[in-house]
Structure 1
């Protein structure tokens, strides 16, 4: 292990916890009506025709056909992104790839997958789905309608993932039930919520998942969007009612498909206890991959990422 010992933060991003303690963290007590809340949203999302439109992208790559994509999500929200199709291969699997809270300015061309149509959506308000007055700044985006449980923007972002799956199914009907999801940080957190209720997704990879164990997330010193939520709660005191409905660890208890979850022992942005709460809550078929650190450069990171990348390739391999 090479957990960082020097860092610029005025708190300990390990929170003084060793691996054994982290592996013992469970999800928080869940609110009444969690399944009713998300089940209704999912059923509504399934009624929506995403009306996807493809166009040739300015980006090119020797291994992929690159297409710009726009589709409709809930609330008639236009979602922008990209679709990659493998050159010289049939499409036998689909994969939706989420992004971190920094958004995304291009697709990832080095994903270790074959025979796979890969959709990269930009969630509402971010990057290709920018939509003023929603802020693209993560510290403000994460607060958008946080005082309104039904309207909180994170719910819309989960719905954007469901409509990304609907888009893949619209193009390739035979992919339903053969679609994976991969997301990091912000994308990991909303991914847990999306996978928990979408039976069309057959496996998922979550890395450094955010939005886990919201009561802890409000307490543990952090930087970035978590710090913004903490400051809001300290000032207004009304965030927890909403956040308990948007808890990735509570959602993870409902996941029934194979999962590969990468979590970190040191992370200033997404507190490790919150990450592990998500990973530990997944009831079965879950491999937990331990990273020394997340959201922070450290010696050995390239080697760990290479091992994880190989696991991801095996995990999403077409049978």
Structure 2
């Protein structure tokens, strides 16, 4: 995949005007207020995953419309007053298996991994959350489900679920509600960005190669799905262009980014055909710009010039762990003692 987007200098200064509805804040304020009136119906059941150093739980909580949303909860064993991380997964994936989510808990965080409603059958090890809401004609995939009406659009439900996941983690007795962060890759990064713009007082946001940003440009230059789903829909529904992009403006990550204030660590890949680099930089460069008087935490972006949509993968996590531990005030356990080198014994060696 060649470089196909703006050059580095242009990306660093790219601050586009992105369509934003006049009632954006009212729309989301009303949506979340309605969601929070529903009885939580929280279920947290221990799961024996064969792991001794962490505690694992199968969680169900009430998302948009009170619909049951599944999640995994992984805690450092015996932990209390823990900082937390809510993790959102990529497009088409589900929460998978609980033992796949050990990194944050091993670093001292309570980690809630949210399943994505209606997804979980494209890659990975599956999901467990249906989407009980129907919709009108749509392209295969999730991007155009209910896209002619912001009220019934699929991602209105998913973003509400994502906010409610933060509400849940903050309410757990083992967790310090003032120290909860969000994280995600691709669709998960887009959801983390949306939550950062909707939920005050977050500890931080780790946002990797985020999807759902700057839709007009993304649809125009992305060479593949999921943005291609929108292209195919509009190639058939020729008269619906403006209504589709109006609906998408209610869930555009750039509009959420402008309202976010928590410290943030972005990542972007310059050969990414799925989430064009300029759409990621648009969100990064406009982060915290909605209110000039607001105090905005430090915002950084790690650039992977020769990677596609995989971005930094494990290399990015090695940067996120010390960054978030420092923000959360976590220190290394003093009882662990210094690392020791094991003594090797050669078996069967002749004397």
- 1:291 correspondence with 2:304: yes
Distance 1:35 1:170, change over 3 A: same
Residue aligned with 2:207, SS = strand
Tell me how far apart the structure 2 counterparts of residues 230 and 277 of structure 1 sit (CA, whole Å): 21
Please tell me whether residue 220 in structure 1 is matched to residue 221 in structure 2.
yes
For 1:68 and 1:112, locate their aligned partners in 2 and report how far apart those are by CA, in whole Å.
15
- Relative to 1, partners in 2 of residues 1:173 and 1:45: Cα closer, same or farther, differing over 3 Å? farther
SS in structure 2 of the partner of residue 80 of structure 1 = strand
8 Å contact 1:182–1:205 — kept in the other structure? yes
Deviation at 1:169, TM superposition (A): 2.5
Secondary structure of the structure 2 residue equivalent to 1:128: coil
Query: What's the counterpart of residue 68 of structure 1?
Result: 58
Structure 1 residue aligned with 2:128: 128
Deviates more, 1:201-210 or 1:232-241: 232-241
Q: What's the counterpart of residue 26 of structure 2?
A: 36
Aligned mates of 1:248, 1:41 — CA distance in 2? 17
**Cα distance in 2 between the residues matched to 1:138 and 1:199:** 35
Gaps of 5+ in 1: 1-6
Determine if the alignment matches structure 1 residue 106 to structure 2 residue 97.
yes
> Quick check: 274-283 or 251-260, which moved more?
274-283
**C-alpha distance in 2 between matches for 1:203 and 1:256:** 9
3-state DSSP of counterpart to 1:201: coil
Q: Are the counterparts in 1 of residues 169 and 175 from structure 2 also a CA contact under 8 Å?
A: no
**Over residues 201-231 of structure 1, what are the superposed CA-to-partner deviations in whole Å (9 max), with x where a residue is unaligned?**
2211110111111111221132121111121
- Compare relative contact order (CA 8 Å, sep 6+) and give the higher one, 1 or 2: 1
Q: Is the 8 A contact 1:112 1:312 kept in 2?
A: no
Under a length normalisation based on structure 1, what TM-score does the superposition of the two structures give? 0.86
Which residue matches 2:337?
Answer: none
Pairing of 1:226-245 with structure 2 (within 5 A):
226-236=227-237, 237=241, 238-245=243-250
What is the correspondence of 1:116-195 to structure 2 with a 5 Å cutoff?
116-126=109-119, 127-131=127-131, 139-172=140-173, 175-195=176-196
1:18 to 7, 13, 31: 7
Aligned-residue RMSD, C-alpha = 2.4
User: Structure 2: how far apart are the matches of 1:230 and 1:288?
Assistant: 29
TM-score normalised over the length of structure 2: 0.79
Contact 2:110 2:175 in 1 (8 A): no
CA contact 2:73–2:110 (8 Å) conserved in 1 = yes
Larger radius of gyration: 2
Aligned residue pairs, count: 301
Q: 1:261 to 1:113 in 2, by over 3 A?
A: farther
Instruction: Show structure 2 runs of 5+ residues with no match.
Output: 120-126, 289-295, 330-351
